[in-house]
Chain A
Amino acid sequence: MAAANSGKTYSFKVVLLGEGCVGKTSLVLRYCENKFNDKHITTLQASFLTKKLNITGKRVNLAIWDTAGQERFHALGPIYYRDSNGAILVYDITDEDSFQKVKNWVKELRKMLGNEICLCIVGNKIDLDKDRHVSVEEAESYAESVGAKHYHTSAKLNKGIEELFLDLCKRMMETAQAEERLKGNGASQSASSRRGVQIVDDEPQATPAGGCCSSG
């Protein structure tokens, strides 16, 4: 358990929330398709995606969980976002209502998961800026007021998406490292696995496909 060695892999769960037509599916597809050319699209298509990253020498495994945006599935949210390290809340800049929905989600997430979860509020479809109904100032000041970061993206033009995910990963890593420090240097390592941040020592052997990190 030597601190700051590079032989660690972070596993993060990121949940994707937002109303039906805000484009969250195309957003995440864009992200995972772009660099890896379909390879990283699992057989579950856009509902569940994984991505492996290397950030400042640390390996990060990202699992992106899409959720259903329809109102009638709203009550089922909590079982999707439990144990999440990050949440991406997407709204459509041309749709005021979808922004209101994001506000509701933020309230719920903060209530259920506290401040440990990294929140990203994402205004999508900036290619339609002429029809904008949510002002940049309003959105950004709201995000700041709830401790979230705000991003502007266009899935269509592939704008802002890479930055969004990279930024989120860095923040999640910081949170995880802070948590590690808080836990003391490996004193209580068994309890740490519960919240989904799993730090696994390097494995010389190749792990079987689909295998995931396990910790005691």
Chain B
Amino acid sequence: MTLSLQRQMMENLIIAKARQDALQRKMEDRRLRLQEEANRRFAASGAMTPEEREQRILYTNVLEYEQDHDWPKQWKAKMKKNPDVSLVSNLVSYLLSRSDHPVVKLLRKHQYRVYNRLYPIVSKGLPKSPAMPLRPCHSIHNPLHPDTPKRPVRTACSTQSVKSFSTDLISPSRSHNLTPKYEEEEAEDPSEQGTMDRENSFEDLEQFVTQMDWVPPPSSTDDTASDSDLVCDFSVPLERDESHVQELEKRAVKEHLKAVVKDIHIAIDQLLSLCLLSFECLNTASFKDLCLASIEEAFFTPLWSALVALFRKVYVEREQAYETSVKLYSDASPRDIGIPLKLFPQNTGSPQGSYPYGSAIQELKLLIHDRCPQRKLECIVRTLRLICACAEDYRCLHEGDTTPKTAAIGADDLLPILSYVALRCQCPQLVSECAALEEFIHEGYLIGEEGYCLTSMQSALAYVESLHTGVAQLPVGKLI
């Protein structure tokens, strides 16, 4: 009896094994078929570059996904029936919410990669406030800026840790990836665990970054990691060597930033093209723009704080210049910045803390809270529009009840006002934010109103930075 039972069990096992094999073969067949389909699709393009191969594999994944899921077909049908802007944004946001879709997997992979490149540098650059008094020799540096790159060993350290850190982070997710079919899939983390890890580390990062946000008096004392750096600091005997190392380090951070920016551009290009491959109906000029905007928002939102922290390291000197000007000109009136009398109210009896162009100043202060370039750009546009609206009001006030003339303000008026607003905003981070926007806003936008506003903002900031270097540049020279 037991024997027959045993035999039956054996048979069952064999059947199960055969079934599994068949299933695997079937899956493999399907994969090959889809691969062929992908190959056909790209057949026009002659010899294959590694990028093309990667894209082909990604496209195979898309086809595979579409065999298992119905919604892409349904959306495509909907789009065919009624191609409409609101439908496009719905489709793209639905797509981005499907965490198992190849587009989203690719998005996560790229975000993860960029994040890994940012994290070591950014976390290293935490405010080392307790260490500050111990370094009196760095008098050229503004002590208000604890994240000035000044630890000589960091260059070597950080590049090393970039490596170790990223492998550390990637390896656990790799082990969850049970059957990696392709090399390219390695860094993907489809498992729940991988996602969890990443979210945690993003949270982690948020914390670091909030510490890095600009606070006038350096008072946070929650960092002990700087001790080892400190020791190294003293071990370098020569000032000259140190400045040399600093120089090298600065260059290294700059290079790193460049590389990260390039990576991001490549990532977004790749994401967009995969998105358009998945949904060909999106491949028209205006839909593509919408699609790109959604991708960018999804891509940048979790990364922006870390990204801007790296920008701040590179632009630390410009931020310091801005800060110095802010301090020197904290009492400057609009007239001192060169705004014509008719464009601001003279009644000095205004309540404490309220300034002319207050609404524009408030708007601009919101910029650092947005997490994606396009939104930030919109914030700058709103700021400039508010300036124009305020200027109009102030002029009407001056001219009394006489019919308001249509003489609109031009750049001769706008730029001084914007400089005043940028100064009153008292936020050095703006400098780095705008530098980052220059990198990530794509060219199409730069010729239009948005581009004009960003350019004006950059000019105003540059002007504010230059203020402290020469009082003579001011139209009215009675300051300080």
Q: Which residues of A contact B (CB under 8 A)?
A: 11, 13, 16, 20, 24-26, 28-29, 33, 38, 41-48, 50, 63, 65-70, 72-73, 75-76, 79-80, 83, 193-194, 196, 198, 200-201, 203, 205, 207-208, 210-215
* Nearest 6 interchain pairs by C-beta: A25-B410, A45-B408, A66-B411, A214-B444, A68-B415, A76-B459
Which residues on the A side are within 8 Å of B474 (C-beta)?
72
Which residues on the B side are within 8 Å of A73 (C-beta)?
415, 459, 463
A200–B411 contact, CB under 8 A? no
Which residues on the B side are within 8 Å of A205 (C-beta)?
83, 85, 284, 286
Known: A205-B83, A212-B444, A213-B444. A42 touches B459 (CB 8 A): no
B455–A24 contact, CB under 8 A? no
**Minimum CB–CB distance for B88 against chain A, Å:** 10
Which residues on the A side are within 8 Å of B466 (C-beta)?
75
Which residues on the A side are within 8 Å of B16 (C-beta)?
none
B338–A70 contact, CB under 8 A? yes
**Taking CB as reference atom, which chain A residue is nearest B472?**
A72
In the bound complex, what is the Cα–Cα distance between A208 and B338 (angstroms)? 38
In the bound complex, what is the Cα–Cα distance between A75 and B445 (angstroms)? 24
Instruction: List 7 contacting pairs A-B, 8 Å CB cutoff, sorted by A.
Output: A25-B412, A47-B384, A47-B456, A79-B455, A193-B444, A205-B284, A205-B286
Q: Is B134 an interface residue (CB 8 A)?
A: no
**Minimum CB–CB distance for A81 against chain B, Å:** 10
**Taking CB as reference atom, which chain A residue is nearest B288?**
A214
A68–B448 contact, CB under 8 A? no
Pick from A38, A44, A208, A213: contact of B449, CB below 8 A: A44
In the bound complex, what is the Cα–Cα distance between A16 and B410 (angstroms)? 11
Which residues on the B side are within 8 Å of A200 (C-beta)?
285
B384–A44 contact, CB under 8 A? yes
In the bound complex, what is the Cα–Cα distance between A121 and B444 (angstroms)? 28
| Given A25-B410, A214-B444: 19 more A-B contacts, CB < 8 Å | A25-B412, A43-B385, A43-B389, A45-B391, A47-B452, A48-B453, A63-B447, A65-B452, A72-B475, A79-B458, A80-B455, A205-B85, A210-B449, A211-B286, A212-B445, A212-B448, A213-B447, A214-B288, A214-B442
Which residues on the A side are within 8 Å of B411 (C-beta)?
16, 25, 47, 65-69
Which residues on the B side are within 8 Å of A44 (C-beta)?
384-385, 388, 414, 449, 452-453
Which residues on the B side are within 8 Å of A69 (C-beta)?
411-412
A208–B286 contact, CB under 8 A? yes
**Minimum CB–CB distance for B194 against chain A, Å:** 33
**Minimum CB–CB distance for A88 against chain B, Å:** 13
B459–A79 contact, CB under 8 A? yes
Q: Is B15 an interface residue (CB 8 A)?
A: no
**Taking CB as reference atom, which chain B residue is nearest A216?**
B288
Which residues on the A side are within 8 Å of B85 (C-beta)?
205, 208
In the bound complex, what is the Cα–Cα distance between A77 and B408 (angstroms)? 22
B284–A38 contact, CB under 8 A? no
**Taking CB as reference atom, which chain B residue is nearest A212?**
B448
